[in-house]
């Protein structure tokens, strides 16, 4: 599959950010995939979202199934297999993973001399969730696998350069 | 001799858990705070030997907390390792200019915090642990 240059660069940045975060924080090896990965409508999901504002204006979303989010929380917080993490623990872990991935992406988009800030993470939980972008916003979606578990990363960006033309 | 006190300031309980676990094999006491304001309060009350300070936090972020620490005659001598999701070299240099002793990005191996703590405050492994 041949991707346009922007999307190719974005894919490289996001692959690197997400794979590095899961390796560093969870010692988990992720495989980027070209397969699409929609969650089934009734499957509960947890989505972490962090905004990037500066040289790029964007939101990065990290979407996993609720069961995988629980597993990630157990691993990251060092819980035993019998411990059941609270909802706040799950939010904390998914928010922190999204925040670290956003931080790494932010440095990829760095323009010297221009400030760039991250928002605090926001968590959305539920099922049958559809994220829609506003007019003028591009959506890019990337899928990763850890064994049979999917991690979907969506990147919503607003092109400032096009605005200035 | 009393074990050195390390103050971890991070809004993420998961990150605090990772750092605490990593330091558990070493002769130190750990106290935690969930934002910069609570971190400053904990630093005033306990006068730690080292502060590990996250950047992005609610209520008071890491930069504001670092400025408050540097403005305090007693606390400004405590070494501060900034913990950040971001790895922008310009911003890292700004943190050093504001008084941070060092910085570690969260995409680096967490063990780096331990290495910096050993270098800064001479952290010693607990006898009989794997770290010893």
Number of Cβ atoms within 10 Å of the Cβ of A64: 25
A130 secondary structure, DSSP code: -
Q: How close does chain A come to B83, measured CA to CA in Å?
A: 11
Q: How close does chain A come to B74, measured CA to CA in Å?
A: 31
| Domain boundary assignment for chain B | 5-121
Mutate to test the interface with B, among A75, A107, A112 (most CBs of B within 10 A): A107
Q: Is residue A124 part of a domain?
A: yes
Residue B23 contacts residue B114 (beta carbons within 8 Å): yes
- Read off φ and ψ for residue B102, nearest 5 degrees: -160, 170
Rounded percentage of chain B residues whose pLDDT exceeds 70 = 95
Please report the pLDDT score of residue A2 as a whole number: 52
Q: How far apart are CA B97 and CA B73, in angstroms?
A: 17
Question: CATH code at A142?
Answer: 3.40.1550.10
Please report the pLDDT score of residue A164 as a whole number: 43
Q: Which residues of B touch A (CB under 8 A)?
A: 12-15, 17-18, 21, 56-58, 84-88, 90, 105-110
Q: H/E element holding B116?
A: helix B111-121
Please report the pLDDT score of residue A113 as a whole number: 78
The domain B5-121 is placed in CATH, from the list 3.40.109.10, 2.40.30.10, 3.40.50.2300, 2.40.50.140, at 3.40.50.2300
* B12: nearest Cα among A71, A89, A26, A46: A89
Nearest to A76 among B14, B84, B109 (CB): B14
Q: Note down the domain range covering A60.
A: 5-34+44-158
Q: Is residue A13 part of a domain?
A: yes
* B119: nearest Cα among B99, B104, B98: B104
- Taking residues B102-108, report their average pLDDT: 86
Sign of CA dihedral A16, A21, A27, A33: negative
Nearest CA in chain A to B83: A100
- Taking residues B105-123, report their average pLDDT: 84
The per-residue pLDDT string of chain A (165 residues; one tens digit each, 9 = 90 and over) reads 455 577 788 889 999 999 999 998 999 999 988 766 677 778 899 999 999 998 788 999 999 999 999 999 999 998 877 888 999 999 999 999 999 999 988 888 878 778 888 899 999 999 887 777 777 788 889 999 999 899 999 999 886 554 443
Per-residue model confidence as pLDDT tens digits over B63-94: 999 999 999 999 999 999 999 887 677 888 88
B75 class by beta-carbon count within 10 Å (0-12 exposed, 13-18 middle, 19+ buried): middle
Rounded percentage of chain B residues whose pLDDT exceeds 90 = 57
Residues of B in contact with A120 (CB under 8 A): 56-58
Rg (CA), chain B: 14
Q: Is residue A164 part of a domain?
A: no
Domain count, chain A: 1
Residues of A in contact with B20 (CB under 8 A): none
Q: With a threshold of 0.85, tell me whether the complex ipTM lies above it.
A: no
Q: Is residue A163 part of a domain?
A: no
Q: H/E element holding B105?
A: strand B102-105
* Inter-chain CB proximity B87 and A103 less than 8 Å: yes
Q: Does A128 touch chain B (CB under 8 A)?
A: no
């Amino acid at each position: 599959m041949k991707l346009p240059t922007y999307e190719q660069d974005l894919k490289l940045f996001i692959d690197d950010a997400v794979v590095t975060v899961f390796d560093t924080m969870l010692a988990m090896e992720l495989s980027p995939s070209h397969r699409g990965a929609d969650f089934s409508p009734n499957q509960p999901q947890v989505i972490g979202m962090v905004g990037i504002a500066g040289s790029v204006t964007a939101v990065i979303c990290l979407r996993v199934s609720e069961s995988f989010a629980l597993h990630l929380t157990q691993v990251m917080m060092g819980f035993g297999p019998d411990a059941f993490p609270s909802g706040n623990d799950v939010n904390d872990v998914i928010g922190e993973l999204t925040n670290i991935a956003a931080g790494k992406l932010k440095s990829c988009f760095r323009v010297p001399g221009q400030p760039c800030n991250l928002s605090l993470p926001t968590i959305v939980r539920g099922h049958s969730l559809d994220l829609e972008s506003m007019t003028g916003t591009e959506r890019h979606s990337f899928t990763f696998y850890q064994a049979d578990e999917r991690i979907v990363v969506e990147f919503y960006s607003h092109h400032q350069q096009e605005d200035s033309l | 001799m009393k074990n050195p006190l390390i103050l971890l300031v991070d809004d993420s309980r998961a990150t605090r858990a990772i750092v605490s676990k990593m330091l558990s094999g070493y002769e130190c006491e750990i106290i935690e705070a969930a934002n910069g304001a609570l971190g400053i309060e904990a630093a005033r009350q306990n006068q730690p030997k080292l502060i590990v300070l996250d950047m992005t936090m609610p209520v008071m972020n890491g930069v504001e907390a670092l400025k408050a620490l540097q403005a305090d005659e007693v606390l400004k001598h405590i070494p501060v390792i900034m913990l950040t999701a971001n790895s922008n070299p310009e911003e890292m240099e700004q943190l050093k200019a504001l008084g941070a002793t060092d910085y570690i990005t969260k995409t680096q191996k967490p063990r780096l915090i331990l290495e910096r703590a050993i270098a800064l405050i001479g952290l010693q492994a607990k006898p009989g642990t794997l770290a010893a």
